[in-house]
């Protein structure tokens, strides 16, 4: 910072972000500055070389009329009431007769209770001409046409830098776009062939401090005519008491010593920056470099500023158009996916089948559907521990959407569980059977080309260390790890649409399920009544039939003929078969309609009771029964015992081995491709029996469905596995079959510890 009078030699470069660059206390030497009190219209500040422009040395306190023509005084008096920050060109001779620089160009503005007048050398021959001899209005019109003709963002970037270079004549004009984290990249460039290209290079956020960015939003243009020129100190009426003059809108504001050193290190002698502001935010800069001193006239600076203003809406349109086309494609895919999912009897089947397309909607590498007690992962996803940590973080966000592209930084303790995932976008749906959906992106390891190593270094001085800008701008490559591709604003919008679509689907499903549950309650009541009536009414004639056969045998003297005996035996067997079928029907009805009494117990406890009901006590010697201990179970004890009884009976019955092996335990859900979500406890009953062919594995759960002849494997009704399926579904779980390790069968099932009404009907 450069201050006038007693402090004019003080230079502070120890803290870039807090350096008051709008209060330098000096200006660049190619211009002259006079500042007047807005109320008194008297001189308060002036550049120390003002006498070279005015012909007299200011003392302070002079009126406008002492320096300017009556016409100029009238104009200055009028604009004093204008809105602050508007720079007015004055034009024409404005200095009183006798001033040494009558041809000076001038501009004035109001800012911070001061009327600031700036004088500069007038344009040479051809006022207002662009370098190609077109008038500036015509040049601007041509530039506007080129902007209109560009159909893509990249094409527009090129048009902008070409047009600014045409008007300004700088050696290099770059379009610099700010990226996430504050750093930026050169996305467009027009450069003299004598110099190398900077296109694609990245510059760290520290190259443009925060207060400079704020000033770029406030004042859209900044020019430096000669970085090596000595600044001219500002004088004031009261050097000790007057606050420094705010030069936020000054065309000649002196340059921060740090920035001077920065440009010198780059080999730049003159520069100009034009702000690109979109929706009130600093989107980027048009950065101009010249490798020798260069003074740009007011007219050309104004034309370049106008180009930046023109470019803003075009940038918005092109970027929105490109994003809109992509958004429309992805939104169409989302509609297709949700329509298909909604049409499925079980929407979870739809989500499983459509997971690849849903990932494409958010350009994700993986997706996890979170349920209350487990999760269903598809594609590249982290561990269940990470998923639950994300769910917990999501619960703290009121908008029900949370995203990051540096998951490892958010959860450093879980870095080893990320499995190559670096970014996530999570949305909450807050339903029992779908609490959240989390999209994941893998690490996007990439090489970034920096214009020099992106750090500032401590430079030793006599007074101690100080922060200085980078000395080298040679290309420096850095490999970025641990980050995913950033989630865009469009991604967040689509994620919200995914959330709303799922909530609507779940709401409709809940209403439909409530209606079905009412109907199911009525049907179960009717079925229960029918089952008990059938048990009584159908078994009564069966008992009579068996009694009649018994009496018929007693009354037949002598003994019945062999042919008659065969017929009596057939009648007895058919009656017994009928009794078994009626009993199976009754047990199925009871399994589907009785109220569940939930309790907590151990697997070995309920499994051993079930085994003793099938195999007797002690267990048959030809059966090797293995039951895993220490496994907690939550459910209806009697129903789970009935379930295991049927599965054990099935394992024993359909077995030709001399030594029957049955094992009961649990396995990890991750070991199974279907039937259970990650995190669920999968119960397994495995045997060394005859096995079940894959194409028949779904058929065995149908009531009275047998795969063998009635006389094979001891007969049976075919109701056992249907009853097992009904018990599992009542507990909100699933049951399925896989091939066993020894050629037998593995019957697997899950039990939900807290089944909801909607799970009961499925």
Q: Where are the chain's structural domains? A: 31-120, 136-227+256-304, 322-498, 499-582, 595-760
- Average pLDDT for 79-90: 90
Cα-to-chain-centroid distance, residue 559: 88
On whether the CB atoms of residues 148 and 318 are closer than 8 A, the answer is no
Measured in degrees and rounded to the nearest 5, phi and psi for residue 275 equal: -75, 140
pLDDT score, position 284: 94
Cβ contact 174:203 at 8 Å: no
Q: Which CATH topology does 322-498 take?
A: Beta-Lactamase (3.30.450)
What is the C-alpha to C-alpha distance for residues 269 and 383, in angstroms, rounded to an integer? 55
pLDDT tens-digit profile of 307-344? Answer: 999 999 999 888 888 878 888 888 899 999 988 888 88
As a whole number of angstroms, the distance between CA 329 and CA 259 comes to: 46
What percent of the chain stands above pLDDT 70? 78
| Residue 513 phi, psi dihedral angles, 5° rounding | -65, -40
Contact 698, 392 (CB under 8 A): no
Q: Please, are residues 118 and 107 in contact by the beta-carbon 8 Å criterion?
A: yes
Q: Are 443 and 484 in contact (CB under 8 A)?
A: yes
- Give domain 31-120's CATH superfamily: PAS domain (3.30.450.20)
Query: Can you tell me the distance from the alpha carbon of 519 to that of 529, in angstroms, rounded to the nearest whole number?
Result: 15
Q: Of 85-99, 137-151, 612-626, where does the model show the most confidence? A: 137-151
- Among 226, 232, 216, smallest CA distance to 268 is for 226
How far apart (Å, rounded) are the C-alpha atoms in residues 476 and 453?
6
pLDDT in tens, 421-463: 888 999 988 776 788 899 999 887 555 555 555 555 445 444 4
Region of 129 (left: φ > 0; alpha: ψ -120 to 50; beta: rest) is beta
Position 426 scores a pLDDT of 92
Is the peptide bond between 558 and the residue preceding it cis, with omega within 30 degrees of 0?
Answer: yes
DSSP string spanning 14-81?
Answer: S-GGG--TT--SEE-TTEEEEEEETTT-BEEEEETTTHHHHSS---S--BGGGTB-HHHHHHHHHHTT
pLDDT at 8: 40
pLDDT of res. 139: 86
Question: Which pLDDT does position 718 carry in this prediction?
Answer: 56
How confident is the prediction for the chain on average, in pLDDT?
81
User: What is the arithmetic mean of pLDDT over 101-122?
Assistant: 87
**pLDDT at residue 674 is higher than 60:** no
Confidence at residue 531, expressed as pLDDT on a 0 to 100 scale? 63
- Residue 238 reports pLDDT greater than 50: yes
Give the residue with greater pLDDT, 639 vs 286: 286
In the predicted model, is pLDDT for residue 99 greater than 80?
no
The confidence band for 465, taking pLDDT boundaries of 50, 70 and 90, is very low
Q: What is the mean pLDDT of residues 628-648?
A: 88
* CATH topology (fold) of 595-760: Heat Shock Protein 90 (3.30.565)
Mean pLDDT for the stretch of residues 626-643: 88
Residue pLDDT, tens place only, 370-381? 887 778 899 999
Looking at residue 606, its pLDDT comes to: 92
CA 114 to chain centroid? 48
pLDDT greater at residue 522 or residue 89: 89
The CA-CA-CA angle for residues 141, 142, 143, to 5°, reads 90
Domains 136-227+256-304 and 595-760 share a fold: no
pLDDT band for position 466 (50/70/90)? Answer: very low
pLDDT at 169: 93
* The domain made up of 136-227+256-304 is a member of CATH 3.30.450.40: yes
């Amino acid at each position: 910072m450069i201050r006038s009078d007693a402090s004019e030699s003080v230079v502070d470069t120890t803290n870039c972000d807090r350096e008051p660059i709008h209060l330098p206390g000096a200006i660049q030497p190619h211009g002259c500055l006079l500042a007047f009190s807005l109320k008194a219209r008297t001189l308060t500040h002036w550049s120390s070389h003002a006498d070279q422009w005015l012909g007299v040395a200011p003392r302070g306190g002079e009126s406008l009329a002492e320096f300017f023509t009556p016409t100029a005084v009238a104009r200055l008096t009028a604009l004093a009431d204008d809105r602050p920050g508007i720079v007015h060109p004055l034009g024409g001779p404005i200095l009183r007769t006798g001033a040494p620089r009558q041809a000076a160009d001038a501009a004035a503005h109001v800012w911070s209770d001061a009327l600031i007048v700036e004088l500069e050398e007038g344009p040479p021959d051809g006022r207002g001409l662009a370098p190609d001899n077109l008038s500036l209005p015509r040049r601007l019109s041509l530039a506007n046409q080129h902007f209109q003709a560009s159909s893509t963002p990249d094409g527009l970037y090129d048009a902008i830098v070409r047009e600014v270079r045409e008007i300004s004549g700088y050696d290099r004009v770059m379009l610099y776009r700010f990226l996430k984290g504050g750093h930026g990249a050169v996305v467009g460039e027009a450069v003299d062939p004598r110099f190398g290209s900077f296109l694609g290079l990245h510059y760290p956020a520290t190259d443009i401090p925060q207060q400079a960015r704020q000033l770029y939003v406030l004042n859209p243009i900044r020019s430096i005519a000669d970085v090596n020129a000595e600044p001219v100190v500002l004088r004031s009426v009261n050097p000790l008491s007057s606050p420094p003059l705010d030069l936020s809108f000054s065309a000649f504001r002196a340059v921060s010593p740090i920035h001077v050193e920065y440009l010198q290190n780059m080999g730049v002698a003159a520069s100009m920056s034009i702000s690109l502001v979109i929706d009130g935010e600093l989107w980027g800069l048009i950065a101009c470099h010249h490798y020798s001193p260069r003074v740009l006239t007011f007219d050309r600076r104004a034309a370049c500023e106008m180009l930046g203003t023109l470019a803003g809406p075009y940038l918005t349109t092109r970027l929105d158009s490109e994003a809109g086309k992509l958004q429309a494609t992805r939104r169409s895919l989302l509609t297709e996916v949700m329509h298909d999912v909604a049409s499925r009897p079980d929407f979870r089947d739809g989500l499983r089948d459509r997971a690849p397309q849903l990932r494409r909607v958010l350009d994700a590498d993986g997706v996890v559907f979170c349920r209350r007690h487990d999760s269903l992962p598809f594609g590249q996803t982290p561990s269940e521990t990470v998923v639950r940590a994300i769910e917990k973080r999501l619960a703290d966000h009121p908008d029900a959407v949370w995203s990051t592209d540096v998951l490892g930084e958010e959860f450093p303790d879980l870095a080893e569980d990320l499995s190559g995932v670096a970014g996530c976008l999570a949305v909450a749906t807050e339903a029992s059977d779908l609490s959240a959906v989390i999209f994941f992106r893998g690490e996007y390891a990439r090489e970034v080309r920096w214009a020099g190593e992106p750090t500032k270094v401590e430079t030793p001085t006599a007074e101690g260390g100080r922060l200085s800008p980078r000395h080298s701008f040679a290309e420096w490559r850095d490999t970025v790890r641990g980050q995913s591709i950033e989630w865009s604003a469009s991604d967040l919008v689509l994620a919200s649409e995914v959330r709303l679509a799922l909530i609507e689907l779940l709401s409709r499903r809940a209403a439909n399920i409530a209606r079905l549950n009412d109907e199911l309650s009525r049907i179960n009541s009717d079925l229960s009544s029918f089952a008990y009536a059938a048990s009584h009414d159908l078994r009564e004639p069966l008992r009579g039939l068996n009694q009649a056969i018994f009496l018929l045998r007693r009354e037949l003297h002598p003994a019945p003929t062999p042919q008659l005996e065969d017929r009596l035996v057939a009648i007895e067997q058919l009656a017994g078969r009928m009794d078994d079928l009626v009993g199976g029907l009754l047990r199925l009805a009871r399994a589907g309609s009785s109220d569940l009494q939930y309790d907590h117990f151990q697997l070995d406890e309920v499994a051993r009771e079930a085994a003793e009901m099938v195999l007797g006590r002690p267990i048959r010697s030809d059966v090797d029964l293995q039951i895993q201990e220490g496994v907690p179970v939550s459910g209806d004890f009697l129903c789970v015992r009935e379930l295991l009884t049927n599965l054990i009976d099935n394992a024993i019955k359909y077995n030709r081995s001399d030594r029957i092996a049955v094992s009961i335990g649990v396995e990890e859900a991750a070991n199974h491709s279907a039937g259970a979500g990650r995190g669920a406890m999968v119960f397994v009953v495995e045997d060394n029996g005859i096995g079940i062919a894959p194409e028949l594995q779904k058929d065995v759960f149908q009531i009275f469905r047998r795969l063998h002849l009635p006389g094979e494997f001891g007969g049976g009704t075919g109701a056992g596995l249907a009853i097992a399926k009904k018990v599992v579904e009542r507990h909100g779980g699933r049951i399925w079959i896989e091939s066993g390790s020894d050629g037998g069968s593995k019957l697997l099932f899950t039990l939900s510890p807290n089944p909801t009404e909607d799970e009961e009907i499925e």
